[in-house]
Structure 1
Amino acid sequence: MDTLPITTPVLPDQKSKRLISLDALRGFDMFWIVSGEGIFHGLANGVKEKYVLVQNPKDWTIATNEHLSMLERILINISNQLHHSPWNGFTFYDLIFPLFIFISGVSMPFSYQKYFDQKKAGNHSSKAIYKALIKRTLILILLGIIVNGLFKWNGYENTRLASVLARIGLSTFFAALIYLNFSLPKQIIWFFSILIAYYLIMVYVPVPHFGGGILTSEGNLSAYIDRLLLPGKLHRVVYDPEGLLSTIPAICSAMMGIFVGTFIKSASPLLNTSKKLAGLFIAGTLCLIAGLVWGLFFPVNKTMWTSSFVLFAGGWSILLFTIFYYIIDVKSLKKWSMPFVWIGTNSILIYICAHGLFNFESTSQFLFGGLISDMPMAWQQAGLWTGVLLVQLLLLKFLYDKKWFLKI
């Protein structure tokens, strides 16, 4: 299969201009949804069980304010952040998906350098690269439907066609088309045009039976289009969080990554590392502020993937990338990040495995069940998911050492 920028591994011993921090950040991002959330929810539940307050919210509030240690407070707060916002708002869990798409964008200026070199030399084939783009997008869409249960044969009306993998494929496909065919100034025009146009149609195009500009879960235009045009089953009955219209602004999440990748790769030699890092920090901060300000008129909302959400999530993505880039690529402190690199270099594979292909929980119970059963009941969930993580890391390290990677 053709190489997919979002999953192409970057090995430490490769003489490549690509960034190892990208694989580490991708692995950090993926860690939370394949095992991390289970571990931290288990730890938080263990803290609650310790105080025997799970059934008594009033006493739990008292304990939170008076009795919890700093570590226990941190565990509770992390667990609270590992849930999506009910509707408007933002949690760390809301960042995971746009961060993954952002990372895909950062990789593009490096992944497509060979294409531009060949184009400059006059011996490139645009047809071949577009064919590869279409192929990988279709494969991701198909894999997404399979993860959603295609082969359970529950009938067409119970088959969900929209998916996380489909949004990754479609958003990066159109972002790549813009990147390959337009100069940087025109890419910026595309970026703001998409965000502004999405804002205008979501706020001012009337939805039948709900009136214009109603941004509720059922009354927003994106949900209406999902009910009208999206085949098969909708994930939330009246809308799909990976629906049709809301995929359009996700293109801009990938484009924010492209802008960062272009900056890192093409920054003037006169711009030293400190100034480059400062530029990234300022850009991330400005995006956060812009997202918050726009959110006053167009709420920060992951499900609708609002324009303010693109900017706000993009701001956090830039800041996280800056931290990983500084520690790993600038300071060359890489050993600590290797478990994340193992995950990041096979991110699509571990996502598919963890979301139905393999039952890592059963494997963890089989291998570590004795140790887990000896733990206090309150901590057994955390123990089980720690075992899941160990199994996943052993598998991914084996694949990494063998240089076996899923390339789409």
Structure 2
Amino acid sequence: MSLDVMRGMIMILLCAESCLVFVALKKIDLSRPGALIVAQLFHHPWHGLHFWDLVQPSFMFIAGAALYISYSRKLEKGITWGVNFKHVLYRSFKLFLFGVGLHCIYAGKPVWELWNVLTQLAFTSVIAYLIINRSYSFQLLFSLALLLLTEELYRYVKVPRFDSPFVAYHNFGAYLDTVLMGKINMDGWVAINIIPTAAHTIWGVLAGKLLISSHEHTYKIRVLLLTGFIALVLGFGLDLLNITPIIKRISTSSFVLASGGWVLLMLAAIYWLVDVKKQTKYAWICTVIGMNAIFIYIFFETVGIQWVNGTMAIFTGSLIHLLIGLSVKITDLISALATWTAEWALCYWLYKHKIFFKL
């Protein structure tokens, strides 16, 4: 159940971002501590790590855990690796199409852009599945090899104007984007992130395998804590020693390790609270949205952004401002919170009616 809760928490946060809750908070004149906290709800501009930089790794990680648990259940039903591989490929193809389609919606016209998290997940899921039957050590070493490969490509592939490994717009990832898409992302994101972030999905597979194993709770928590701390030390060590900076937008090896470490520690905490201590009274708040994770993500990134956000603003924040003259900064926050609540309520309604959308 801990995985369901964690997935729901991730989706609640992503929904809040799409509903502009964080943007509204940022507009309010907060004290310095408050402003520092709100800053954590946005991606770091380049070199560094914010809380929000952990959401996408968590998303990829949980997808990996779900991939393994689903696969193990199918094995019990007699469905072979090969037969299930066709399903994984088909699902990944749909994720890829949704990812590309979302960028067309963002742009308001047909575009060929490969930066969406669903596009990345389409590739990382296939990579993780190809080695899903291998040992823990093999999968771990394979994931580290992906990080090493990324390091080598950034450091040693020298292309004029793209030969600065960790400089925005002038790195190997940016160059590859010009080859694949004929453009560079103005925020510094790169499509080749599918290689290093596959490690997050692979580690999710390993975590899923661990959590459904017959080991004692204490053993599982020790493994999650130990591997989490090791990943944190390696990630921040690479950064502090000026070997590889932590940069989320190009998913440097130090970023993948550091963010993966935090995700493992978060999972350990949630597992202890939910599955060991059985503190599940309010878990449903998260699970109702986590049960339709892909649906609600696509919903709030399409219908939500295009229509719901604006419509809710008219009948909540704008109306309140008109009636009682409350500050626009405050009414914007009210609108965002109302939209956030409405989209969660949609998931609750689907959950109560046992409607679950699957890819």
TM-score by length of 2: 0.89
| Structure 2 residue aligned with 1:362 | 310
Q: Deviations 1:231-252 (Å, cap 9, x if unpaired)?
A: 3654328x6x251x22111111
Alpha-carbon distance between aligned partners in 1 of 2:119 and 2:197, rounded to the nearest angstrom: 11
Alpha-carbon deviation of 1:161? Answer: 4.1
User: Which of 78, 81, 98 is the equivalent residue of 2:57?
Assistant: 98
Is 1:281 the counterpart of 2:225? The answer is yes
Whether the aligned pair in 2 keeps the contact of 1:290 and 1:311 (CA below 8 Å) is yes
Alpha-carbon distance between aligned partners in 2 of 1:41 and 1:153, rounded to the nearest angstrom: 22
Alignment of 1:225-374 (within 5 A): 225-228=176-179, 230-231=180-181, 234-236=184-186, 241-243=189-191, 245-266=192-213, 268=215, 271=216, 273-295=217-239, 296-358=242-304, 359-369=307-317, 370-371=319-320, 373=322, 374=324
Is 1:198 the counterpart of 2:145? The answer is no
Identify the range of structure 1 (360-369 vs 81-90) with the bigger mean alpha-carbon deviation: 360-369
- Root mean square deviation of aligned Cα: 2.4
Letter in 2 for 1:353: F
Alpha-carbon distance between aligned partners in 1 of 2:79 and 2:344, rounded to the nearest angstrom: 39
Alignment of 1:4-403 (within 5 A): 20-36=1-17, 38-48=20-30, 64=32, 73=33, 75-117=34-76, 124-149=79-104, 154=109, 158-180=111-133, 182-211=134-163, 214-228=165-179, 230-231=180-181, 234-236=184-186, 241-243=189-191, 245-266=192-213, 268=215, 271=216, 273-295=217-239, 296-358=242-304, 359-369=307-317, 370-371=319-320, 373=322, 374=324, 375-403=326-354
Partner SS, residue 61 of structure 2: helix
Kindly, what percent of the aligned residue pairs are identical? 26
Partner SS, residue 165 of structure 2: coil
Alpha-carbon deviation of 1:343? Answer: 1.7
Partner SS, residue 112 of structure 1: helix
TM-score by length of 1: 0.79
Counterparts in 2 of 1:235 and 1:44: CA distance versus 1, 3 Å? closer
Counterparts in 2 of 1:124 and 1:355: CA distance versus 1, 3 Å? closer
Structure 2, unaligned stretches of length 5 or more?
Answer: none
Higher relative contact order (CA 8 A, sep 6+): 1
Alpha-carbon distance between aligned partners in 1 of 2:51 and 2:29, rounded to the nearest angstrom: 21
Alpha-carbon deviation of 1:151? Answer: 10
Letter in 1 for 2:3: L
Alpha-carbon deviation of 1:206? Answer: 1.6
Counterparts in 2 of 1:361 and 1:274: CA distance versus 1, 3 Å? same
Alpha-carbon deviation of 1:380? Answer: 1.2
Alpha-carbon distance between aligned partners in 2 of 1:129 and 1:217, rounded to the nearest angstrom: 40
Whether the aligned pair in 1 keeps the contact of 2:105 and 2:302 (CA below 8 Å) is no
Alpha-carbon distance between aligned partners in 1 of 2:147 and 2:172, rounded to the nearest angstrom: 15
Is 1:407 the counterpart of 2:358? The answer is yes
Counterparts in 2 of 1:275 and 1:187: CA distance versus 1, 3 Å? closer
